[in-house]
Amino acid sequence: MIHISGASSYSNGIEFASNTYCVNFEAYDNSSKIFLRKNKLETSSKALNLAFRIPLLRGAMVLLITSKSLFILLLLGMIPNIFMQKSEANAKISVFTLIISVILSFVILLFIAKFFKLRRQYHGAEHKVAYTNNQGKALTLENCKKAPCTNSRCGTMYIILTVFAWVILVIVTSFSNFTIWPSIQFILAFIISYELFLMNANTPILCWLFKLGYLLQKKVFVLEPNDIQLKQAIEAFQLLERAETGGIPEEELQELLQNGKNLNF
């Protein structure tokens, strides 16, 4: 069992990250390949690592590193402008605006998820393997198949918490004389929600948001992987485990870091 610092899935593969290394598995029509690389956060400066321990600042750091998230937040933050109502002094967001904005935000996410069925299967494999590791069980196909597809540390939960924090910010600013641009509200919501994301999933009030996140995972963002996809995820994770625990000879390690390795499934 090793500590997982991050994991993600994409249309043809999966990624796991430990404290020191990241492993990427990529499947193609007639072949597949696995890559190993150094974890960027591990090799970053001490000042940057310290920033990730400071509340609120660490959420801002995550946003800066994941620039795609910033771009999406800025786009979603522009939605309320379509329904903005002008008052004598400031632009206020009505309840109608808020409801429409939240609905449109989720419609965009659902639209994107619809076209990534294969990614959703690798997403399920990612969750199952991570869960099995965290439970301290052997990474066998049988154990992983029994693991749940949902995960409280999934990015889906982050989306729910970000929308929740954004709604609260909109309500607060709508009933005050303090105006914040919608895009800035979304960025602030992202930073605040990161702190909520790190909290226990059973925390009062938050537990209901996590339940909503589990529901979205099951219905939209995650699908049951097939045996081949699970085996691929297990292979990737076991390589990461060997690298993290020093179980790979130096020559083989350097080859993996430079050129990766071809696999047959």
pLDDT in tens, 151-186: 888 877 887 888 888 888 877 777 776 666 667 777
| Residue scoring higher pLDDT (240 or 10) | 240
Look at residue 154 in the predicted model and tell me its pLDDT: 84
CA–CA dist 93, 172 (Å, integer): 10
Its pTM stands at 0.74
**In what order do the strands lie in the sheet containing 6-10?**
6-10, 13-17, 21-27, 32-38, 261-263
| Residue scoring higher pLDDT (99 or 44) | 99
Q: Are 185 and 169 in contact (CB under 8 A)?
A: yes
Look at residue 242 in the predicted model and tell me its pLDDT: 92
In this prediction, residue 16 has a pLDDT band, given cuts at 50, 70 and 90, of very high
Look at residue 121 in the predicted model and tell me its pLDDT: 86
Q: Which of 28-37, 52-61, 135-144, 193-202 has the highest mean pLDDT?
A: 135-144
Q: Are 191 and 198 in contact (CB under 8 A)?
A: no
DSSP 147: S
Q: Are 241 and 235 in contact (CB under 8 A)?
A: no
In this prediction, residue 190 has a pLDDT band, given cuts at 50, 70 and 90, of confident
CA–CA dist 252, 239 (Å, integer): 11
CA–CA dist 217, 120 (Å, integer): 9
CA–CA dist 265, 31 (Å, integer): 8
The rounded Cα 73 to chain-centroid distance in angstroms is 14
| Residue scoring higher pLDDT (33 or 60) | 33
DSSP 93: -
| Residue scoring higher pLDDT (121 or 234) | 234
Look at residue 164 in the predicted model and tell me its pLDDT: 83
pLDDT tens for residues 78-87?
A: 555 555 544 4
Report the interhelical angle of 67-77 vs 182-197 (nearest 10°).
130
Token pair in block for residue 18: 């430990």
Report the 10 Å Cβ neighbour count for 99.
12
| Helix (H) or strand (E) run with residue 13 in it | strand 13-17
Look at residue 62 in the predicted model and tell me its pLDDT: 75
CA–CA dist 181, 187 (Å, integer): 10
Average pLDDT of span 256-261? 86
